[in-house]
Amino acid sequence: MLGRLNHVAIAVPDLAAGTAVYRNMLGAKVSDPQPEPTHGVTVVFVELPNTKIELLEPLGENSPIAAFLAKNPSGGIHHVCYEVEDIIAARDRLKGEGARVLGDGEPKIGAHGKPVLFLHPKDFCGTLVELEQA
């Protein structure tokens, strides 16, 4: 069911500082900041040869990463995103296995313009998992 690792998302308290780490210290290709108001984050994309890193900074009052950063003030790995061919088939299979899908269980359009879902970390080895239809 799982395809490629689409990205690893890292929550950061300061996007400019995080961008400098990846662009200047690590010499990576980093995009300009992209505000995603419907997701409560501003994102920069770090392009790697085989996948992407996304740095996420809270945007607005009710950012979904605010609580994570309160617990991890210097930032940390927030989620991993795997590609699937058919997100509805993947969701239905996982629900059949007893896994919890976050929110209302319906795919939303993610930062790459493709349908995504999030899965409960307690059902996936303590890691928040995003599925993206490739």
Binding-site ranges for Co ion (CB under 5 A): 9, 81, 130
Nearer to Co ion, 62 or 98 (CB): 62
Which neighbouring-strand residues pair with 50? none
Active-site amino acid positions: 130
CB 19 within 8 A of CB 28: no
Q: How near is the Cβ of 8 to Co ion at its closest, in Å?
A: 9
**Rounded CA separation 10/76 (Å):** 5
C-alpha 31: how far from chain center:
16
Nearer to Co ion, 81 or 87 (CB): 81
Nearer to Co ion, 23 or 52 (CB): 52
